[in-house]
Amino acid sequence: MIKATVRRQVTVPLRFSDGYGTTAQVMTFDSLADGREHLLLGLGDWRRALTKSAAGGRAPLVRPHSECLTGDVFGSQRCDCGPQLREAAERITEQGGFLLYLRQEGRGIGLYAKLDAYALQDDGLDTYEANVALGRGEDERDYTAAAQMLLAVGADRIRLLSNNPDKAAQLGKLGVEVTQRVPTGVHVSAANVRYLRTKASHTSHTIELPLAE
């Protein structure tokens, strides 16, 4: 795996729609494996978190968050991406760590294909079946760039804020030790409950959902 380097670091104050605010050190990188413009946001006292981790203490809290224009920006209720992003910003700020914003929309198939998949879901397919029906993989995301960014800032040990076991598996193979997998909250609505149940049953996401009525 090619070593990435920090290209630029800038301070960006953040404010979410519910009024919560924090400050991020936003970093860009050279030599990322896929050539995309991924971001790493240092939140809270991330430098202290790295120092503690290097001394054998608790590792920094990290969430790799895949871009979701519909959920993150427009507040789509078809997924839980927007609420997860908001939750991650606050939890990582409190504990010190990193939010990775990964440009892999629609589990890696792109925005237009994701919307095509939504149309197929409206016809009865689940989120994974819809991707396959489009001739795409169930989940095309690759976390090589995420590992490159983490290693570039010295985060070779992390606590992973995610319900997705594949993220932990991929990062571990890429040289980032996941000392703990920390689940996110469950952000369920009438519009996304089927989607969340499919993630829990099909790809073993650790999501505790209410029993179906």
Annotated binding site for Zn(2+): 68, 79, 81
Q: Which residues make up each annotated binding site?
A: 63-68, 79, 81, 84, 105-107, 127, 162, 167
Burial class (CB in 10 A: 0-12, 13-18, 19+), 69: middle
126 classed as catalytic: no
Q: What are phi and psi of 97, to 5 degrees?
A: 170, -150
Give exposure, 107-138, as e/b (b: 16+ Cβ within 10 Å). Answer: bbbeeebbebbbebbeeebbbbbbbeebebeb
Residue that the structure tokens 């795409």 belong to: 136
Q: Around Cβ 68, how many Cβ atoms within 10 Å?
A: 23
DSSP helix/strand/coil, 31: coil
E strand or H helix at 129: helix 127-133
27 forms beta bridges with: 9, 40
- Which of 141, 142, 156, 159 is flagged as catalytic? 141
3-state secondary structure of 66: strand
Binding-site positions for GTP:
63-67, 84, 105-107, 127, 162, 167
Q: Of the listed 136, 139, 157, 159, which one is catalytic? A: 139
Closest among 40, 71, 58, 69 to 153, alpha carbons compared = 40
CA 103 – CA 101 distance, rounded (Å): 7
141 is an active site residue: yes
| Residues classed as catalytic | 139, 141
